[in-house]
Every structure is written in structure tokens, then in C-alpha cells.
A and B are shown apart, each in its own frame.
Chain A
Amino acid sequence: MKILKYTLGLLLSIFIASCSSDDHDTMEDLTGQTGSLILKFDNGIGNQDFIFGTTYTNFKGETYQLETLKYLISNVRLTDNQGNTYTYPEEENIFIVSEANGNAAGEIYITLNNIDAANYTHVTFGIGVDQERYASGADGQGDFLTTAQDEGMMWSWATGYRFMRLDGTYSSPTKTNAALNIHMGSVGTSVDNYKETTLAFPNEVLVREAKEPSVHIKADIAQVFDGLTSVSFDAGYAQVHTDEITTGVIATNMSGIFSVHHVHND
């Protein structure tokens, strides 16, 4: 009888132990755990990879080649499967994506370190610099102003950031190898061209201490000119700098060029 009692007790304790262990597996405790995540930006033109010096054609039949392709990404936030939002620390939360810095596959990496471990479902980021960051002046910018200037992403004749730089040439029925410079940005507080985009992941991105997941983001540069609005270089869009209307059209088009192609969880 005593043996039975002991046996029962033993079985019960094994059962409880196995139970709690099962619980642990389904409700993984991620408290305090951090990991990294790589956002891989991959510029393309429609269904082609983007390559400097290659001639592309826009919707209006004008052809163009680019020698500079850069844009500013900021305010990266991640949303997890519980609906919580993780925001990358503000001081480091601004990046320059420059095609010239791409690897052999034409991908430019933004590595986010020490982010909260979670199962993420969406990423949100801004293109350019928001009014709040701009209004803080030099405060909290560290050396980003120097980086931006070195990359040619600041105005020189006025204070402010270029949100993007597409420099090259275009040809049309009326022009041959004319200058093409798209330098859209905000102008002080008067013209605000900062826009955000939110992209859903096809499957959850698992950020964990021992893993380095990545998100492959495609940027279709063709949509800068053929996005929500199709623009013609000949009709005022070969030189876009500060004009309220043309910069607004480009900013809106620009916010729609991104999509998540796939994610890697390893």
C-alpha cells in the first residue's frame, strides 16, 4: 500500500513537472531577452535589379540612367503578434540607404541591435526626417549630421536634409542626356514631406538572442516616377528640390515603393 502511495506520488509529481514543462514550451518567456534583426534593402526597377549606368524607361517613354541612388530611413518600429510596438532608440534610429554601399547582390543592410525578443508581424519606417527630429536642432543627433553631409544628404544652400538623391541623366523626344536630379526633402516647417510606410511580414519574424533573422525589403525605384502619380521628366520632374507640389508628389510615390519579399528566421 505504501509502495502504491509512493508510486502514485511519484507519478503525480512527474505529471506536474511534465505539465509545467509543456506550459513553458508554448508560452516562451522572452522577458529581458534581446536580439538583432537585419533589414536588407534591395533596389530594383520593376522586375529588374537596379544597376548603375543601366538605361531604364519610365511610363511616359522617357529613358534614364542613375549614378546616385540614396534615401533616408528613420523611426523604425516593429509590431509583434500581441500588438505591442517596439521602437528602435531614437538617437540611432536614422539610416542612409545608399546603393553604392550595397553588397554583390545589391543589398544594403540596416542592422538593428539589442531589440526586444518577440514574434514580429509588421515593420513601420519613415522616409526622411520628421518635424519633431528636425525641431530638436542638433540635440540628440550625435554625429549623424556629419554622416549625412559626407553622403551629400544635406542641403548646402539651406539647412535641412535631402530625403532622397536620385542623380543621373534622362532622354526624351525633346532632350538628350539632360540632367536628372531628384532631391526631395522637407523645407523647414513650411513643407513637410516626411512619410511613413508599414509593411506586413509574410510570416512572423522571430527575434531571439541566439538568432539573426532578416527581412528582405524590395524597393521599386520605378515607382518613384510611376507610383500613385505618373510623372514626366519633361513636364517638371527632372529637377525636384523644394517645390511644394513636385516634392509632395515624389514623396507620396516614394512612400509606396517598398514591399517585403521574404523573411529569414535563422
Chain B
Amino acid sequence: MKKLVFIILVALYVMSCSKSSYTNDYVPVYLNVEQPDNFPEIVYNLDANPVTQAGFELGKKLFYDGKLSANDAIPCAFCHEQAFAFTHHEHTVSHGVNGGIGTRNAQPMQNLAYQSEFMWDGAATHLDFQPIIPLTSEVEMGETLGNVLNKLNADTYYRKQFPKAFEDGEINSENLLKALSQFMVMMVSSNSKYDKYVRNEDGGELTEIELNGLNNFKNKCATCHATDLFTDHSYRNNGLSINPKLNDKGRYNIFENPKDLYKFKVPSLRNVALSLPYMHDGRFSSLEAVLNFYDSGMTDNGNVDELFKREDGTLGITLSTYEKESIIAFLYTLTDNEFLTDERFSEF
């Protein structure tokens, strides 16, 4: 009898212990978001959502968890594979739950903390809100925030991890989206051969053709693919023929403004050698095809950016064979293998 009382007392003590430690799970270990010397300033407001070890881990778990989709099988990572600069490898447009087919090519995920608008048409104007679009899209993950939160609430891992990641410990949409942002802002790709070249670091020696390519790139491409993020963050119509099956009007869909017809975001070119296929609908499967298009494939769809107008009225950027070769050689120097194999961002 005495023994039994003792066991009960010990059990009660242990239970009370675990309960009190449960409420004190929030012990933030802050992580630093990289600010590379050659990058513009971070625009994401880290004060409102400082990155912690537990928050980052939670965000990573969510990124790789199919529970965020209606059939529990399509995680974010389904269309964003690390080895291919977080794109949907070899898919022109992506597919999602219930065989749904999207209308656009999955964009790479990197250096998101330095950008304020997302998606091909700029439909997301805050990184925290971006995941809502694929999460709710019927052809992508087909879920609702409410359903996802119900599933997370029923999961032991999340019931433990949310209180570690956030002081209020709530499993709610605010903390769900904050955790995903914490994971995403840490995804910085800044250690390509080119980065080492501009920062005068070891391993940054460019070959003659790469240097020529950089020079040609600066003359022919860098107006739009500006800064070391390789985008001026603008939306432009680059004279792609209209695909009648998609008839994607681009940024026009946001404001219904005819001036925005067929405009899409100027994409970053980091890790571009691996993020094929190219353009908003993935119509080009190689960089050669892209440069041939800019040289001689553009069509007047009625609203093409003035930048592409040649003096004789035709559209395009004139590129010689060597200019194309050298630009491609240069673009390969933007591949950042440290980032593409960084275990912090890997599923396993």
C-alpha cells in the first residue's frame, strides 16, 4: 500500500513537472538572417517576426508536410525541390491535388527576405501572406487555413513545437504563417562563383568566357535583371506569343488595367542553370532557347515593353552566337551549390 501511494505521488510529481515545463517551452534561440555585402538591404520586417531556431524548424517541417494540402499529399516542397533551386523540376506548369493543373511555372525560392512582392504577377505583397495563395488554390493544395490548423492541432509534434516557437504557443494562422516566413527568409543564396568574384573571395576566379559573358550581360540584360539579386522587381511584357490554352494575362489579373496585359515579374537569375524550364509558363527548356527567343523570337502581342524596340521597329535584343555562349557561361556562375545542398533546408 505504501509503495502504491509512493508511486502515485511520484507520478503526480512528474506529471506536474511536465505540465509546468510545457508552459515554459518558449526559450528563443535567435538565428541571424544573412545580409551579404553585395545584396540590397533586407526588406522583410524581422522585428515583427524574429527568426528563432524552433520557429525555423517548425517552418521547415510545415514546408515539407503534406498536411497543408487537401489530400495530405502535396507539401510546398512538391513543387519546390531544393536540388533544382526549389522549382518543380522538368514541369512547364505544376500539378496539384486531384490532378489539378496550374497555369504557371513554379518559381525558385531564394533571397525572399530582400523582396517585397511575390508570384509571377506580384499577387502577394507580403511574404507572410504568400503561402495562402498555393495553399488555397484548387489546382495546387486546395486547402483552407482553418482545415490545416485543425490537422496541426491533432498532431503531437505541432502541439509541442508551436509553444517552443512562439511565446503565446497558439496554433493559429498568425503563427503558422510566421513559421513559414522564418524558414523562407533564411533561404539565402549568396555563395555562387559570381558572388565570390564580386566579393574578391577565394574560388571567385572567372574564366575569360565567363568574364566576357558578364560584360555582355551587363550591356544586354542588366537593365531588367539588375543588382546582385538580378531583378529590378518590375513587371514587364517581354513579347511572348500568347498561349491560347492558358491565355494568361499576367499582372492584368490583379488590377484589370489594360497597361498590365501580359506583364510578368522579371525573375531573379540565381541558380538559373538548374531552374529550368523558363518563362512564366515554362515554355523554354534551355537557356539557349531563351536567348534565341530574345534575339529573334519576340512577337508583338500589343503591349510589349518599349525596352525591346529596336531602332528599325522590330522587337528583340540582338545577340551574336558568341554573346549567347558567353552569357550562358556567365549564368552558370550563378549556381550556388552550397545553397542547393544546404542541409538546413533539406527534408532529410
Contact = CB atoms under 8 A, between A and B. Distances in A.
Contacts of A190: 255
Contacts of A242: 254-256
A145 B149 CA distance: 12
A4 interface: no
B62 to A, nearest CB: 13
A139 B178 contact: yes
B115 interface: no
Interface string A104-140: 0000000000000000000000000000001111111
A180 to B, nearest CB: 17
B123 interface: yes
A204 interface: no
Given A137-B49, A190-B255, A243-B255, A159 B129 contact: yes
Interface stretch (B11-19, B27-35, B168-176, B190-198): B168-176
Interface string A149-175: 110001011111000000000000000
A242 B132 CA distance: 18
Given A149-B146, A158-B123, A159-B123, A142 B254 contact: no
Nearest to B171: A143
B130 interface: yes
A61 interface: no
For the side of the interface on B, what is the size category? 35 or more
A45 interface: no
Nearest to B132: A159
Interface in B250-266: 253-257
Contact of A142 (B128, B133, B170): B170
B254 A187 contact: yes
A138 B174 CA distance: 5
A140 to B, nearest CB: 7
Given A145-B177, A190-B255, A137 B126 contact: yes
B149 A191 contact: no
Contacts of B49: 137-139
A137 B127 contact: yes
B321 interface: no
Interface in A166-200: 187-191
Contacts of A141: 173-174
A244 interface: yes
Contacts of B125: 134, 159-160, 187-189
Contact of B173 (A145, A157, A188, A241): A145
Given A139-B174, A146-B149, A157 B255 contact: no
Contacts of B234: none
A188 B146 contact: no
Contact of A150 (B128, B130, B146, B175): B146
A166 B45 CA distance: 34
B137 A142 contact: no
Given A146-B172, A149-B145, A150-B146, A156 B126 contact: no
Contacts of A243: 255-257
A138 B178 contact: yes
B133 to A, nearest CB: 6
Contacts of A149: 132, 136, 144-146, 173
A138 B122 contact: no
B117 interface: yes
A15 B177 CA distance: 66
B238 interface: no
A244 B146 contact: no
Interface in B140-178: 144-146, 149, 170, 172-178
B1 interface: no
B329 to A, nearest CB: 38
Nearest to A155: B123
A137 B133 contact: no
Contact of A137 (B117, B129, B170): B129
Given A137-B126, A143-B172, 15 more contacts: A138-B128, A138-B176, A139-B48, A143-B149, A143-B173, A144-B173, A146-B172, A146-B173, A149-B136, A149-B173, A156-B136, A156-B137, A158-B119, A158-B124, A244-B257
Interface of B: 45, 48-49, 117, 119, 122-130, 132-133, 136-137, 144-146, 149, 170, 172-178, 181, 253-257
19 contacts: A137-B48, A137-B127, A137-B177, A137-B181, A138-B128, A138-B181, A139-B45, A143-B170, A143-B173, A145-B132, A145-B145, A146-B145, A149-B136, A149-B173, A156-B133, A158-B133, A159-B124, A159-B129, A243-B255
10 smallest beta-carbon distances between A and B, as pairs: A188-B125, A137-B128, A159-B129, A158-B123, A139-B48, A138-B177, A145-B173, A138-B128, A143-B172, A146-B145
